[in-house]
Chains A and B, each alone.
Chain A
Amino acid sequence: MTAPFFKFGMFGDNIGLVIAFAIGIGFGFFLERAGFGSARKLAAQFYFKDLAVFKVMFTAIVTAMLGVYYLSVLGFMDLSLIYLTPTFLAPQLVGGLIFGVGFVVGGYCPGTACVAAATGRLDALVFALGVFAGIFAFGEIYPIVSTFNDSTSLGQLTIPTAAHLPYGLIVFAVVLMALGGFYGAEWMEKHMAARKAGA
Chain B
Amino acid sequence: MTTKPAQPYWNPYLAGVGLGLVLLTSFVVMGRGLGASGAFASVLTTGLHAVVPGHVANTAPFAEYLGNGTTSPLKDWLVFEILGVIVGGFIFGSLAHRISKTVEKGPNITTARRFGFAFLGGALMGVGAKFARGCTSGQALTGGALLNAGSWAFMIMVFVGAYAFAYLMRRQWQ
Contact = CB atoms under 8 A, between A and B. Distances in A.
A69 to B, nearest CB: 9
A58 B152 CA distance: 12
Majority SS at the chain B contact face: helix
B4 to A, nearest CB: 15
Nearest to A53: B12
B96 A33 contact: yes
A28 B89 contact: yes
B66 interface: no
Contacts, number: 522
A65 B86 contact: no
Given A33-B18, A47-B173, A61-B145, A100 B81 contact: no
Contacts of A29: 18, 88-89, 92
Interface residues of A, number: 125
A20 B78 contact: yes
B118 A139 contact: no
B89 to A, nearest CB: 4
A104 B136 contact: no
B69 interface: no
Majority SS at the chain A contact face: helix
B105 interface: yes
A131 B32 contact: no
Interface string B90-104: 111100101111111
A183 to B, nearest CB: 12
B165 to A, nearest CB: 5
B61 interface: yes
Interface of A: 3-7, 16-35, 37-41, 43-47, 52, 55-65, 67-68, 71, 77, 81-89, 91-124, 126-140, 142, 145-146, 149, 154, 157-162, 167, 170-171, 174, 182
20 contacts: A3-B27, A4-B31, A20-B77, A23-B30, A33-B92, A40-B106, A46-B162, A60-B17, A61-B20, A64-B20, A94-B157, A95-B131, A96-B157, A97-B161, A114-B82, A117-B86, A123-B118, A129-B122, A136-B48, A142-B59
Interface of B: 1, 9-10, 12-13, 15-34, 36-37, 39-41, 43-44, 48, 59-62, 75, 77-78, 80-93, 96, 98-106, 114-115, 117-166, 169-170, 172-174
